[in-house]
Amino acid sequence: MSVRIDRWRKVLGTALLTGMVLGSGLGAQPAADEDASRHGIFIETLDVTLVNVEVVVTENGRPVTDLTRDDFEVFDDGEPVAITNFHRVENGRRVAPAGDGEPAPQPVPLANEHSAVIVLVDNAFLSPTSRRAVFDALAQRLDGLIERGAQVMVASKDQAIKIEQRFTRDRREVDAVLDRLSRRAGSGNLDDSTEGRIVREVELGASPGTVGPGGLDLGEADAVATYSRAQTFAAEIFQKVRRSSVVTRGFLGSLAGLPGRKVLLYVADRLPLRPGELPLSVWAAKYARAYGDQVGFTTVQDVIDEFDTSQELLELIADASASGVVFYPIGNGRNAAMRAISAANDSAVGTASFALQNVTQENQGLRFLARGTGGEAAVDVSSTDWLLDRLESDVSAYYSLGYPAPHGGDGKTHRIKVRVKRPGVEVRYLETYRAKTADQQMSDRTVAALFFDAGDNPLDVRLLLGDAERQKDGTYLQPIEIRFPIANLVLLPEADNHSGNVSIFVVVRDDKGRMSPPTKVPVPVTIPNANMLAAMSQIASYRTNLRMRRGEQSIAVSVRDDLAAKSSTVGTRVRLGKAKGKG
């Protein structure tokens, strides 16, 4: 919409961009776009999407820090690309590239070089005994991460993500949260006990051909019953992994707009790729030849394929790559090993051998996530120190390679390959990326502000709240006002006016984790030439109403000057209705 300067003065004594009500519910719908009729000079806007690849290079486990731009080769979807931006990061600080006579590279457009370390505790796949061991190891190494420029956040996951501690560099705050979480019970042991019980039932079941009273084939009866229980268990774990993946993927989306290197310390004992493989393998060894036809059994592999979780984990890896997040799974595989030993009671069916193989496959999901995102995994408490050593090194020493995306912001996923010409080195990096449009990037940044510090505010945006009004349906209409100085905008001269474009993005999240989709409102700005001098001292204001539920709400707003490609993001919280507990 176009608004003249004289009308702004009449309304507020400042500039006013008239706000439209953004629909109902948590989702906010923008007003219909209005075409701004432009006359005068021809303007071409060129959006350039820059891909930044963060590369960790090691040799014999030690970081390699003396490479130059010429030591790297980058391929995008198999095609070589020129590295236009290059620098090395050490302890959160950019280090100038080496090389005699080499021109200084252009600045890489990152808000900062600090690493974000997110500790995500998966209660569904973590046993109580593992908690204390893993958390004690983490607590002892926090100083090293923080000294290397990392901010640390702690979150837990059940049916949804709960932020236990926002980003901080205060060791004591993180220690307190980890200590509290270490005493919290999870559901990880329940799966172990259920799986062990089914295996034991198979072991103790009647052998094939055992005849009971009345000629009943006891072996067949036990085979049918235990096979059903094994299949049900596999299906339940498959659904559990799927739900866990969906929740984690939603959380990764909130991290996409966070600047800098992002590391997810995923705390879990296991993440099965083939749920139910242990009880089904034990069952097959004892009963498949005699009773496979009765239950529709073909091979263990055919049955396990029905519950294979690799596709769910591949989607998780794709979303992690799109958000620039590297997985470092950490857990205590000792629980699985102890289960394998305790299961070694029936050498006739090779239970111990199956159980030991199961330990490996249950850890494969964690290794799969690490390998797919360029991270590392420690699946036993004895490897925890090694993993944290690698993590400290990785967050403090890496290379940033930048190049213009050949595909622009097409929204598709593309593959990256990085080669280092020096022999004998190990190279790790995110192997895919999603070429997001400028609007998608702004949406990511706005969502991130619901959870994290919004960062810089170059447009000097302010977010003000009015008095909310309760509606008949129990929701609340919350007025908001977004203000920013007109002098901070780029306005281009036309025949009679100076014109620009502002895009406003709004997103809301309630205290139960429900979030509206990011809403974009395009706001053309037109100022008559005669009023330009006065306008430079005016404050532009955009007003709108958000319909929200009762309870605590987080609101995030981004304002982008489309011509200058400059943006600001701000956030606030509001409690609607009567307070329950601490407000």
The answer, yes or no, to whether residue 539 has pLDDT greater than 60, is yes
Segment 65-77 mean pLDDT = 94
% of residues, the chain, pLDDT over 90:
41
Tell me the pTM.
0.77
User: Positive or negative CA dihedral for 371, 373, 378, 379?
Assistant: negative
Topology annotation, domain 5-46+444-576: Immunoglobulin-like (2.60.40)
Please give the mean pLDDT across all residues of the chain: 81
Topology annotation, domain 116-394: Rossmann fold (3.40.50)
**pLDDT for 261:** 82
Residue 47: pLDDT band with limits 50, 70, 90: low
The answer, yes or no, to whether residue 345 has pLDDT greater than 90, is no
Characterize 235-271 residue by residue with b for buried, 16 or more Cβ atoms within 10 angstroms of its Cβ, and e for exposed. Answer: eebbebbeebbebbbebbbbbbbbbbbbbbbbbbbbb
Contact 294, 287 (CB under 8 A): no
Question: Mind listing the pLDDT tens digit for each residue in 108-159?
Answer: 434 445 688 999 999 988 887 778 888 888 888 888 888 877 889 999 998 8
Phi, psi of 21 (to 5 degrees): -65, 135
3 state SS for 503-519: EEEEEEEECCCCECCCE
**pLDDT for 99:** 53
**pLDDT for 358:** 56
Spatial CA neighbour of 538 closest among 20, 23, 15 = 15
**Based on C-alpha coordinates, what's the Rg of the chain?**
29
Q: How far apart are CA 328 and CA 337, in angstroms?
A: 21
Residue 475: pLDDT band with limits 50, 70, 90: very high
Question: Mind listing the pLDDT tens digit for each residue in 249-260?
Answer: 989 988 888 877
Number of Cβ atoms within 10 Å of the Cβ of 272: 26
Spatial CA neighbour of 105 closest among 96, 113, 117 = 96
Q: How far apart are CA 384 and CA 130, in angstroms?
A: 12
E strand residue ranges, 19-172: 50-59, 62-63, 72-76, 79-81, 85-90, 93-95, 116-122, 151-157, 161-168
Segment 226-248 mean pLDDT = 94
Question: Mind listing the pLDDT tens digit for each residue in 379-408?
Answer: 877 788 888 888 888 888 899 999 988 887
Q: Picking from 129-138, 159-168, 262-271, 352-361, which range would have the lowest pLDDT averaged per residue?
A: 352-361
Contact 544, 504 (CB under 8 A): no
The answer, yes or no, to whether residue 30 has pLDDT greater than 60, is no
**pLDDT for 352:** 52
**pLDDT for 408:** 78
Question: Mind listing the pLDDT tens digit for each residue in 479-529?
Answer: 999 999 999 999 999 889 999 999 999 999 988 878 898 999 999 988 999
Question: Mind listing the pLDDT tens digit for each residue in 401-448?
Answer: 999 888 877 778 889 999 999 999 999 998 888 888 888 889 999 998
Segment 557-567 mean pLDDT = 92
Q: Picking from 42-46, 426-430, 463-467, 533-537, which range would have the lowest pLDDT averaged per residue?
A: 42-46
- Burial label for 574, CB within 10 Å (0-12, 13-18, 19+), is middle
Is 5-46+444-576's fold the same as 116-394's? no
The answer, yes or no, to whether residue 4 has pLDDT greater than 50, is no
Domain spans, the chain: 5-46+444-576, 116-394
Q: Which residues, in sequence order, are CB contacts of 11 under 8 Å at separation 6+? A: none
**pLDDT for 148:** 77
**pLDDT for 518:** 92
Segment 331-358 mean pLDDT = 52
